[in-house]
A and B are shown apart, each in its own frame.
Chain A
Amino acid sequence: MARAKRSDFAMALDEFVDEFYLDHPDKVAQQARLDPIPEPVGDPLADAWIGAAGEHLALRWGLRTPNWTQRAAHFALEQPHFLPDARALRGLIIVESPPAFRTRLIFTRAEPLARARFPHDAPRAQMPLEWPPPEESAENSPGNGPG
């Protein structure tokens, strides 16, 4: 059913990611969730998302990237896809989109698979949105120590 409708596909992907996070910090269980080879959906965007999610989760959580994520079907998107598709955010997401997504022409936030079940003990990737950085953090940065 999730293959027929994009919103159902998105829900199914979210559920998969939730289950993946519930296995944290059991790397064996998480790898076992990533390894089964999914059948391509036939929609270039959905297939690009599936490949990106598989590769990103592996890279993000120190697992082995499954070979299936490198199949041509997961790189078939021909036009860039921006998510969120907001002109005001475009520059930001072009910069912060993780490699597994940008190589498939998907441009999104730095932590695109963050969910409520994202492990609380893991820091979330963030891009600094303030420049120059606040004075306090600038003083504490490694490059500004006595030297």
Chain B
Amino acid sequence: MAAKPAYILAMKLKALERTTADDRDYRDAIKLGIACRASTADELRDVFRMFFPEEALPLTVELRLRDLAQAIRKEAG
């Protein structure tokens, strides 16, 4: 059974803590945000908390949420 997009988005948000040369986790998170209709920082946090209620997003990820939400809204049109 395929994982739900919301779960993958929550995992991707966690993964934003790491660095890749092409920032692919961020690009994936934009697509997943559109699929999950999560387009504000609060909605992204809600998706994360749904699967990781005991965890807080790392500070460096928190600092990217606003940009991510903007990118999701821009790409979703």
Contact = CB atoms under 8 A, between A and B. Distances in A.
B20 A109 contact: no
Size band of the A side of the interface? 20 to 34
Contact of B67 (A86, A92, A113): A86
B3 interface: no
Contacts, number: 49
B67 A88 contact: yes
Size band of the B side of the interface? 10 to 19
A103 to B, nearest CB: 17
Interface of A: 6-7, 9-10, 13-14, 46, 49, 83-89, 92, 108-109, 111-115, 129
A88 B24 contact: no
Interface string B19-58: 1111110100000000000000000000000000000000
